[in-house]
Amino acid sequence: MNLFQIIIFLLIPAMLFSQKYELKWSEEFNGSQLNTEVWNFEKGFAKNNEAQFYTGRTKNARIEDGNLILEAYKEDYGNADYTSARINTLNKKHFRYGRIEVRAKLPEGQGTWPAIWMLGINHHIDGFPACGEIDIMEYVGKAPGEVHGTIHYPETDNIKMNSASQNFLLPPSKDGFHTYSIEWDGAQIDFFVDDIKYHHFEVDDANRWGRKNIFRKPFYLVLNLALGGKWAGEIDDTIFPARFYVDYVRFYQLKE
């Protein structure tokens, strides 16, 4: 394969993408502070037996050099031994179908649990798992280099939970950043890392008699850095401060 053929081969995915999608909204994190017209700070303890206390302090969530930084510390705060940050777009920015793309750099170390995920906007009314969940990316530090894409949805009783998950080993990266994304429509949800598809979910699998499929309703976005808990496990106190960098969030929709 000559140089010209290599260049064309590399350009084909970008050309096909530009023909299919158009950018509808983006958060580039280029300002001096987080845009509270788009983002909410969640505060307090979280579920899953996690160890952190979420705050709205700039120490735990801020913008620097065009990146959102969610930063976790070992410190006494709010009856917890650790602090961190979790933000969401509930009631400010909702998404239904399209491509959601996030470029991010993950923290390292035992006990870290960063995530890029989505919940149905009915979460605070119907609870979980009735609202559904789309985990665009989850990572736990005890398994370096491995990320997970997962769908959670309810059984007919809205209490029991079904899940469909797949893991992916991250390829090498010079700066530690990777692009995590989903492409979602009324038929399927596909998961990608650096445009490599590694997981597929059929939306019809979440059909339930007597109610609309939850994955055909709007969702909101959540970005957080959790610590410990049911999945991440024991925390290595030598890793702090731990930083989760997010370069941008972009939302594309199919061209009409």
CATH number at residue 142: 2.60.120.200
The single residue of 64, 133, 155, 234 carrying the catalytic annotation is: 133
Domain count, the chain: 1
Which among 195, 178, 171 is positioned nearest to 15, based on CA atoms?
195
Pairwise CA distance, residues 53 & 88, whole Å: 16
Q: Would you say residue 9 lies in a domain?
A: no
pLDDT band at 11 (very low <50, low <70, confident <90, very high): very low
Half-sphere exposure of 180 (CA within 13 A, CB side): 29
Q: Taking residues 74-89, what's their average pLDDT?
A: 96
Active site residue 133: yes
Which among 220, 247, 210, 1 is positioned nearest to 91, based on CA atoms?
220
Pairwise CA distance, residues 249 & 87, whole Å: 13
Q: Would you say residue 18 lies in a domain?
A: no
The pair of three-digit structure tokens given for residue 107, joined into one six-digit string: 């923290």
The single residue of 138, 146, 155, 256 carrying the catalytic annotation is: 138
Q: Taking residues 170-199, what's their average pLDDT?
A: 97
Q: Taking residues 123-131, what's their average pLDDT?
A: 93
Q: Taking residues 19-35, what's their average pLDDT?
A: 94
Lowest mean per-residue pLDDT among 7-11, 28-32, 87-91, 151-155: 7-11
Q: Would you say residue 1 lies in a domain?
A: no
Report residue 63 CA to chain centroid gap.
Answer: 18
Q: Would you say residue 11 lies in a domain?
A: no
Q: Would you say residue 92 lies in a domain?
A: yes
Residue type, 216: R
Q: Which domain holds residue 132?
A: 23-254
Which among 238, 249, 253, 233 is positioned nearest to 50, based on CA atoms?
233
Residues 157-172: tens digit of each pLDDT? 878 999 999 999 999 9
Active site residue 101: no
Q: Would you say residue 17 lies in a domain?
A: no
Q: Taking residues 75-96, what's their average pLDDT?
A: 97
Hey, which bits of the chain come out as E strands? 21-27, 40-42, 44-45, 52-54, 61-64, 67-77, 80-84, 86-88, 94-95, 98-105, 112-120, 133-139, 146-154, 161-169, 177-184, 188-193, 196-202, 219-227, 242-254
Q: Would you say residue 6 lies in a domain?
A: no
Q: Would you say residue 108 lies in a domain?
A: yes
Q: Is the dihedral of CA 61, 63, 64, 67 positive or negative?
A: positive
